[in-house]
Amino acid sequence: MSPRWLGERVPRLEDTKLLTGRALFTDDVDLPGMLHAAFLRSDEAHGVLRGVDVAAARARPGVVAVWTAADLGDYWKPGPLLVPPPPIAGIVFNAATQVPLAREKVRHVGEPLALVVAESRYLAEDALDDIVVDIEPLPAVMDLEAALAPGAAVVHDELGGNLAARARQTKGDWAAARARAHAVIARRFRYDRGAAAAIENRGVVAAWDARSEELTVWDTTQAPIPIRNGLAGMLGLGQSQVRVVAPFIGGGFGPKIMMFYPEEVLIPWAAMRLGRPVKWIEDRRENFYATTQERLQIHDAELAVAKDGTILGVRDRFLSDTGAYDPYGLTIPINSQCTLLGPYAVPNYDSEFTVVFTNRPIVTPVRGAGRQHGVFVMERLLDLAARELGMDRVEIRRRNFLPPDAFPHDHQILFQDFRPLVYDSGRYAEAMDQAVAAIDYERFVRVEQPKLRAAGRRVGLGIVSYIEGTGIGPYEGARVTIEPSGTVRVATGVGTQGQGHFTTFAQLVSDVLGMDPSKVQVITGDTREFGWGTGTFASRGAVVAGNAVHEAAIRVRKKVLALAGAVLDAKEDALVLECGSVHVKGAPERAIRLGDLAVKANPLRGGVTPGTEPGLEATAYFGPDRGNAANGVHALIVEVDAETCEVRILRYVVVHDCGTVINPTVVEGQVQGGVAMGIGNAFYEQLVWGENGQLMNASFMDYLLPTALDVPAVEMRHTVTPSPLNPLGAKGVGEAGAIPAAAAFAQAVEDALQGGIEVLEMPLSPNRLFELMQDGAA
Amino acid sequence: MKPAAFEYLRPGSVDEALELLERHGADAKPLAGGQSLVPAMNFRLAQPAVLVDLNGVADLAGIAAADGGLRIGAMTRQRAVERSAFAAERAPLLAETLPFIAHPQIRNRGTVGGSLAHADPAAELPAVMVAAQARLLLRRRGGERRVEAERFFTGLFATALEPGELLTAVELPAMAPRTGWAFAEVSRRHGDYALVGVACLVTLDGRGRCASARVALLSVGEGPVLAPSVAAALAGAAPTPEAVRAAAEEVDADVDPPSDIHASAAYRRRLARVLTRRALTRAFDRAASR
Amino acid sequence: MIVEGDYTFAGTREAVWEALLDPEVIAHTMPGTQEMVRVAPDRYEGRMRVGVGAITAAEFQLAVQLVDVVPPERYTMEIDGRGRFGFTRGTATVNLSPDGAGTVMRFRADMQVGGKIAAVGQRLLDSVSKMMTKQGLEALAAEVKRRLAG
Amino acid sequence: MTVQQGLAVSLTVNGSKVERTAEPRLLLSDFLRHELGLGGTHVGCEHGVCGACTVLLDGEAVRSCLLFAVQADGHAVETVEGLAANGDLHPLQAAFHETHALQCGFCTPGFLMTLVPFLREHPSPSETAIREALSGNLCRCTGYKNIVDAVALAARRLASDAPAAARA
């Protein structure tokens, strides 16, 4: 069973449907008699909801139903708390979860106030214009510090303040470390909000079949199984009566995990009430308010270093914006807190975060999920320390890397999976060496940069390291079945949003069962096919579901060998699985095709003995003990036009280590795409809010996704340090590209401007760079 | 994001279009390429009661010679101008500018006249027409008039078009000998609304001095903004780098840029000076080599 | 969004004061005003239609509450406008001081804009407010001039 | 205001004649997707920026979210469903597959429809020209590199196929 497909660049099996326009996305579901929904959303960020007059909307021809919060009766309930607070001593956590339709108060722009169902989306939107809303505006809570000050307006009156959470994690003795430091670098860092902006907006289609008493929901979710379980509970149905399908999804990036958006709660309910299928497809403007977002944090951080650049300790106090509600708990700030430590030995650490409710849309993870912030703060501190110590920036990093024999390395704090933050494996200096070589660091610094500077060109280099905690639990499962046709079906609970699961999972099975991946049919994200699991997030698909798929295939292989041994009258260790059939070693004529074996595995009368299990089928689950630590280095070269403040990326190198690579093409695609998002976060994308909580750029005209002209081709290198925490040795990769880009970009821009400015905030923009350069010149 | 209902009319001729526009008055909105209007309709910020679709009016499209210059029908697609070697020869400033307008998919549909009549302060074509001293042909039932581009743009999204009047063509005059041109802009991403843009045409006299300089900017005022101070600073001067730099600084007096989330007024002023200098430098180089 | 500036009228402070607070004058001079009624000595209500270019002129219900009124020196307006495309609200303070035969008006408005116009029209907010301020001031100056002449 | 009910629309879609009625405000994107069942044309922004809805109108790439279905009356529309002939992928589709130029695949039809006329007009484009051509389509997954590679690959194939086709 030597791996033939593991590590191969197998072209993706799912492509043909997508390339020919035949893949089913949620908005492609068109059912007879289907109605269309639209939501009226608040124009105000914060206010007392005095009334929603829907009489005229109800009277409009073509409108079937209009509901406000008052019409929902007992069905109106705040959503579930998806991630409870972890067991950190002294933690404070105030839960406030989103509601299906606002009542009494509105808490962010775009919060839904009413649901209209009509014969077409056009008519439903006509009816939205008929609704008269009376909101008495309240001051919007926007500034994280002001929000906590006495007398501030309060987002959730029952909490008496805007504190959502506070938690402190420490190791060692920061005060002592600071006291003996040669230098202490202290700065304030700000990392602002962006949108995930998947090109496909969200959508939900629900159909209730009154005869079979079954509810089918197509949902652009990254987590169909929890949605099924939750909906069944809310609607008083058995879990088997609800089928949730996450069909092809046009990009996820985190917000599509967020469970029990108001629309997910209400559209199935409306379909059951009306006895007709109902479709809601989010439009782009809605997406900017109604879909969750991420990123605003403000860090006051200090780094204590010895004269030789050795890190003595880090202290960080940071504010983290959770928006109007906090259903996702503390995943983001804990990720920030943990990821800050990076690949470095940090003997003393004192980090406390304060999570704040504001009148902005809800914050839940977006690709990176708080890790960016940690990397940005640490890498910027190291850059500043290197400058202060007169050290090379690569050298200060090398000096502090955890060595290869330091594993498992226990950071003595808790990670987002509630497990200790213990790194499993890594070769950090080697990754740095590769990056230094790939970008030709020495030559750039000594030859290229001085030469170009002499010619008036402002070029700069950035090079940073990062760790990504990936592949967390709890668990995923998979069922592998050999069909009489000879096709192997793999069903798993995770949904897929473009990560190539149809192919990578097929590769895992192919090696075990000795067949071509094209003969393996993978089904994801349909609760009727597989009903246990959580979802696709935290770069865990390949690690957690992948290992489950692999284990299920191994169990099927055992069944194959046992049955084939009986059929072919041979010992199991004399059998060879290859090309979809089993034969006896050295006797290729003594063979049986897997499909034929599958027929025999469904025994007829007389063929059953006690203990016989029919079918060449097995189900397996995998739950890792804890998350693993992928790592890497990003290096880039930029050129700044000091007059126009435009920044151009000339080169971009990534060295990354995600353990065992199942399909390098897919992995490289994830990294390249992640870098694009990271560049967006660094220089193009920023959600801009007015002081009254208005979003000033709720369109693709003003919220700027990078285009083909803005994203360079990433030059990629791999190091492979398998994880000891799972049989495949895999680590996650989905978010890696996005995480360190901003830190690298900031260093490069500073370098290009030769220390004229300090970049302590992200994102940057030409306008902001102009301001910083003005300040620097003044 | 679905548009509100409207009545749709598709005239087959200019006369029919004019009649419909007159009949429906303020309720009617001509639909040219629709690349600005339809997004506004999808956002329901534009809710015209009647759309008069000009896309069926064949005689509004076309590129032809006129008085040594160029005449472009209002419904000529921007892409058609971009592909026209004749237009590039007669109006190289226009040819250089077209690729900066949005993206090919938009220019395939967007029209020259539609952009001019829309008069977006961030649009490229109005500034080009002002720099090029183009004349716009306006027709109404029973009459036609020509308006200089400089007078056509009267304010923020405002033009000299009167109710019932239709922009039917634009005429760019022939370029004088020893004339150079350049267009430059800074936008966040290629195809976005420019933060600032500059279109210029300069002509040298027999001694290589600046005989005339027309510099028009976009995104720095209510509409396209002509920069007379720059022209005055260059008049009669040898276009040395120092002279061009000094003249470009004068643009500050001619602009009153807005602030938005992408660029403050101060940053736009900086860009206006830098781009004016860069565009003029290129234009004088070209003029000298012609 | 802050809109501020000053403007010199050819007229006495009293004349300018009266013009500024006359609902008829407001209706004439504030761009897009359809109707303006003084419902109480210190309160005006009315309707405006503001449209720019292809943007359909949307109707706003407008309420203006006067506070801190010190004739003929200064007053503050609390402005609340709501319409289908969004809302605008804020405060505007007006100060009048004599300047020779004329009167200098200093104004400072701190206005917030919300809803669809803010969400997708941010690019134009500054330009539109500048344009409306300019138009309003010019119309006001003309009105003051007309009154003084009449 | 009088609301016009459906107007007759007659057009060619992927070579086949289609006759329907459409309310004037019905966007071409919605018409293709929900009236004709051609779900391959995707809708990402409905304000002309993302490019996912790109189709060909009389052979030119246009945003179908910025056209009303009634405007397509008398014209020819081509969508991604029309690209593969007799089950064989179009060279661009094949190149996208081979270079891993798609991940979630949602934006992909718009890219393909942008590129078909681009390669017709620019049979051997430079990388810069390719990137400029792609700049009116947003992709959130791939970071574009593999799309650029796919276009170059398809261009090479089309160029080497062209003489063969001419001989045939």
0.95 exceeded by pTM: yes
Band (pLDDT 50/70/90 cuts) for residue A691 is confident
Taking the Cβ of residue B274 and every Cβ of chain A, the question of whether any pair is shorter than 8 Å is answered with yes
Q: Is B230 within 8 Å of B213 (Cβ atoms)?
A: yes
CA distance C4 to C129: 10
A580: left (phi over 0), alpha (psi -120 to 50) or beta: left
CA distance A20 to D83: 7
**The A349-357 sheet, strands edge to edge:** A92-93, A163-171, A349-357, A311-323, A297-305, A183-191, A761-762
pLDDT at site D161: 76
- Reported residue count of chain D is 168
Confidence check: pLDDT of D2 > 50: no
Tokens of B69: 């210059």
Taking the Cβ of residue C137 and every Cβ of chain B, the question of whether any pair is shorter than 8 Å is answered with no
**The B166-172 sheet, strands edge to edge:** B63-66, B69-73, B166-172, B135-140, B143-148
pLDDT at site D4: 62
DSSP codes of every residue in A90-102: T-EE------SS-
Taking the Cβ of residue D141 and every Cβ of chain A, the question of whether any pair is shorter than 8 Å is answered with yes
User: Helix/strand/coil (H, E, C) string of A328-381?
Assistant: CCCHHHHHHHHHCCCCECCCCEEEEEEEEECCCCCECCCCCCCHHHHHHHHHHH
DSSP codes of every residue in chain C: -EEEEEEEESS-HHHHHHHHH-HHHHHHHSTTEEEEEEEETTEEEEEEEE--TTS--EEEEEEEEEEEEETTTEEEEEEEEEETTEEEEEEEEEEEEEETTEEEEEEEEEEEEESHHHHHHHHHHHHHHHHHHHHHHHHHHHHHHHHHH-
CA distance C141 to C147: 10
Q: Can you point out the beta strands (E) in A575-627?
A: 575-578, 581-584, 587-593, 617-622
pLDDT at site A538: 67
Q: Is B81 within 8 Å of B64 (Cβ atoms)?
A: no
Band (pLDDT 50/70/90 cuts) for residue B281 is very high
Average pLDDT over residues D55-62: 98
CA distance A237 to A228: 10
Could you give the C-alpha distances from A253 to A196, A197, A496, C53, in angstroms and in order? 6, 8, 11, 38
3-class SS of residue A294:
strand
pLDDT at site D167: 42
Half-sphere exposure of C88 (CA within 13 A, CB side): 24
Each residue of A421-431: pLDDT tens digit? 999 999 999 99
Each residue of A624-655: pLDDT tens digit? 988 899 999 999 999 999 999 999 999 999 99
Confidence check: pLDDT of D67 > 90: yes
- Which value does ipTM take for this structure? 0.96
Taking the Cβ of residue B187 and every Cβ of chain D, the question of whether any pair is shorter than 8 Å is answered with no
Residues of chain C positioned with their CB less than 8 A from the CB of A288: 119
Each residue of C82-91: pLDDT tens digit? 988 889 999 9
Residues of chain C positioned with their CB less than 8 A from the CB of B119: 53
CB contact under 8 A, B189 and A709: yes
Terminal alpha carbon distance of chain C: 37
Residues of chain B positioned with their CB less than 8 A from the CB of A707: 189-191
**B67 against C58, higher pLDDT:** B67
- What are the beta bridge partners of residue A304? A184, A313
Q: Where are the alpha helices (DSSP H) in B25-175?
A: 37-42, 78-83, 85-90, 92-97, 104-107, 112-118, 124-131, 149-152
Each residue of B157-215: pLDDT tens digit? 999 999 999 999 999 999 999 999 999 999 999 999 999 999 999 999 999 999 999 99
Residues of chain B positioned with their CB less than 8 A from the CB of C127: 121, 156, 222, 258
CB contact under 8 A, C126 and B119: no
CA distance C5 to B256: 14
pLDDT at site A734: 84
Confidence check: pLDDT of D165 > 50: no
CA distance B121 to B129: 13
3-class SS of residue A660:
coil
Confidence check: pLDDT of D168 > 50: no
Closest CA to A346 of A311, A383, A381: A311
Q: Is A543 within 8 Å of A734 (Cβ atoms)?
A: no
Chain A residues at the C interface, defined by Cβ less than 8 Å, are: 43-45, 109, 129, 137, 285, 288, 688, 690-692, 694-699, 701-702
Could you give the C-alpha distances from C127 to A75, A499, B155, B259, in angstroms and in order? 47, 44, 10, 8
CA distance A156 to A161: 7
CA distance A485 to B77: 56
CA distance A40 to A280: 13
Confidence check: pLDDT of A51 > 80: yes
Closest CA to A409 of A106, A699, A631: A631
Tokens of D114: 């942008």
- What are the beta bridge partners of residue A268? none
Each residue of A88-101: pLDDT tens digit? 999 999 999 999 99
pLDDT at site A321: 98
Tell which of A14, A19, A22 to mutate to test the D interface (max D CBs under 10 Å): A19
CA distance B188 to B185: 10
Each residue of A23-41: pLDDT tens digit? 999 999 999 999 999 999 9
CB contact under 8 A, A704 and B188: yes
CA distance B97 to B110: 14
Lowest-pLDDT choice from A384-398, B32-46, B73-87, C24-38:
C24-38
Packing angle, helices D145-167 and D91-98, rounded to 10: 140
Each residue of D74-101: pLDDT tens digit? 999 999 999 998 889 999 999 999 999 9
pLDDT at site C150: 66
DSSP assignment, residue A636? E
| Maximum CA extent, chain C | 45
Which amino acid, residue B117?
A
Tell which of B157, B220, B255, B256 to mutate to test the C interface (max C CBs under 10 Å): B157
3-class SS of residue D156:
helix
Tokens of A758: 């300090």
Lowest-pLDDT choice from A13-22, A602-611, B112-121, D124-133:
A602-611
Band (pLDDT 50/70/90 cuts) for residue D14 is very high
Taking the Cβ of residue B188 and every Cβ of chain A, the question of whether any pair is shorter than 8 Å is answered with yes
Average pLDDT over residues B26-34: 95
Each residue of C51-70: pLDDT tens digit? 888 888 888 899 999 999 99
Q: Which residues fall within 8 angstroms of residue C13, CB to CB, at 6 or more apart?
A: C72, C73, C96, C97, C98, C103
Each residue of A349-363: pLDDT tens digit? 999 999 999 999 999
How near does any CA of chain A get to the CA of D10, in Å? 22
CB contact under 8 A, C86 and A688: no
Q: Which residue of B has its CA nearest to C120?
A: B43
CA distance A278 to A207: 7
